[in-house]
Structure 1
Amino acid sequence: MSGGHWAVIGLLALMAFLIRVAGLMAGERIRASRLAWMLDELPGLIVVSLVASSLIGQTLPTWISAGAALGIAVITNNVIATMAVGVLAFASLTWLGG
Structure 2
Amino acid sequence: MSFPFWMLIVVLAVAAFSIRVLGLFAGDTIRSSRFSWVLDELPGLIVVSLVASSLAGQSIGVWLAASAALVTAYFANHVILTMCVGVAAYGGLVWVGL
Ranges in structure 1 where 5+ consecutive residues have no aligned partner:
none
Structure 2 counterpart SS, 1:35: coil
Q: Report the Cα offset of residue 15 of structure 1.
A: 1.0
How far apart, CA to CA, are the structure 1 residues paired with 2:41 and 2:14? 31
String of CA shifts for 1:8-61, please: whole Å, max 9, x gaps: 111111111111100110001101111001100000000000000000111111
How far apart, CA to CA, are the structure 2 residues paired with 1:95 and 1:58? 17
Structure 1 residues 14-93: aligned runs within 5 Å: 14-93=14-93
Number of residue pairs matched? 98
Percent identical residues: 58
Deviating more after overlay: 1-10 vs 37-46: 1-10
How far apart, CA to CA, are the structure 2 residues paired with 1:4 and 1:86? 50
Report the TM-score when normalising by structure 2. Answer: 0.96
Report the TM-score when normalising by structure 1. Answer: 0.96
Match of 1:9 in 2: 9
Greater than 2 Å deviation, 4+ residue runs = none
How far apart, CA to CA, are the structure 2 residues paired with 1:49 and 1:65? 17
Ranges in structure 2 where 5+ consecutive residues have no aligned partner:
none
